[in-house]
Amino acid sequence: MTNTSDQYIHGYTPAEQERLAMLNRLLNDRCRKVIEVNTGDKILDVGSGLGIFSRHLARETACQVIGVEKSLEQLMTCLQLAKNDGESGLVEYREGSAYALPLEANEWNTFDLVHTRFLLEHLKDPQTAVDQMMLALRPGGKIILIDDDHVHFQCYPPVAHFDLLWNNYLRSYDRLGNDPFIGRKLVYLLHQASATNLQNDFVNFGSTSDNEDFIFFVDNIREIIVQAESIIVGQGMIDEHTFEQGIQALDRFKNFKGASIWYSIHVAIGEK
């Protein structure tokens, strides 16, 4: 079943696009380490968003990269960012859906690597998207799925009300038909799509107060929770006062010495 009524929980506001760009700065080098590519490979990046990781791959590996993104708004910003960085044309971006990849007849079965990151958690029917990705892949090519499993998030020392905020953020996620626990399912999705040589891995998405980027890791979590306020508070999951107290506690956490965030991103790798 192909479901086109997905709601992208984060939306496309300038603040969200800035968060996504920041997330790319925090994570791209870390994710790159789990992606093996050969120079000249043909890569398909599905749900490419602002296209920053697609460009990272193309720049670092001298590969031909095509990014597929369903939102025109996201694509416009993506093209502007590439232009600002003097990298227009480094990646070919196409508007289209992961459920029906915008490929020419002679492009199916040809990609050396098909990759997606932080897409499947937003789809009501992730299996159809993975099946499409497998169809794009050449025999012997690799498919890499990277996504969240929100159960892993921990911070220490404890942040007042944080567990309440986080658990209700997760509830807001599945209320929109998104899956906060997709990470653990990635290998099985590959298996269902007949991928072989299945492997799994983690990318560390944590940090400590001794790293300059620590506040940005906290800000990323803060921003996604604040974005969901209208659902969390609006639907009565938490009262407004408790929500505000939790956010203020998270702000104070940025300056705690010895503080740490523990979080990891799930990686599943298979072959066709």
Ligand X SMILES: C[S@@+](CC[C@H](N)C(=O)[O-])C[C@H]1O[C@@H](n2cnc3c(N)ncnc32)[C@H](O)[C@@H]1O
List residues binding ligand X (CB under 6 A). Answer: 6, 8, 20, 24, 47-49, 53, 68-71, 74, 97-99, 117-119, 122-123
Q: How far is the CB of 54 from ligand X (least distance, A)?
A: 8
Q: Please say which residue, 43 or 259, places its beta carbon nearer to ligand X.
A: 43
Widest distance between CA atoms in the chain: 57
Closer Cβ to ligand X, 47 or 270, answer by number: 47
The DSSP call for residue 27 is H
Closest residue to ligand X in the complex (CB): 49
Closer to ligand X by CB, 6 or 229: give it: 6
- Rounded to a whole number of angstroms, the minimum distance from the CB of residue 38 to ligand X is 22
What gap in Å lies between CA 46 and CA 130, rounded to an integer? 10
Give dist(CA 39, CA 65) in Å, integer.
Answer: 11
Q: How far is the CB of 252 from ligand X (least distance, A)?
A: 27
- Provide the token pair at 70: 């369903």
Instruction: Tell me whether residue 81 or residue 259 sits nearer to ligand X (CB atom).
Output: 81
CB 257, min distance to ligand X, A: 31
Rounded distance between C-alpha atoms, residue 145 and residue 58, angstroms = 18
Omega cis (within 30) before 14: no
Question: Cβ of residue 28: shortest distance to ligand X, in angstroms?
Answer: 8
By beta-carbon proximity to ligand X, the closer residue of 49 and 246 is 49
Distance CA 46, CA 133 (A): 8
Q: Which is it for strands 111-117 and 42-46: parallel, antiparallel or unpaired?
A: parallel
Query: Helices 52-61 and 14-32, interaxial angle, to 10°?
Result: 30
Nearer Cβ to ligand X, position 77 or 168?
77
* Smallest separation, CB 121 to ligand X (Å): 8
Measured from the CB atom, is 118 or 153 closer to ligand X?
118
CB of 13 to ligand X, least distance (A): 12
Do residues 166 and 249 make contact, with C-beta atoms less than 8 angstroms apart? no
Contact present, 65 and 57 (Cβ < 8 Å): yes
Q: In 3-state terms, what secondary structure has residue 86?
A: coil
Structure tokens at 4: 């086109």
Instruction: Say how many C-beta atoms besides its own lie within 10 A of residue 187's C-beta.
Output: 19
Token pair listed for 85: 């960085």
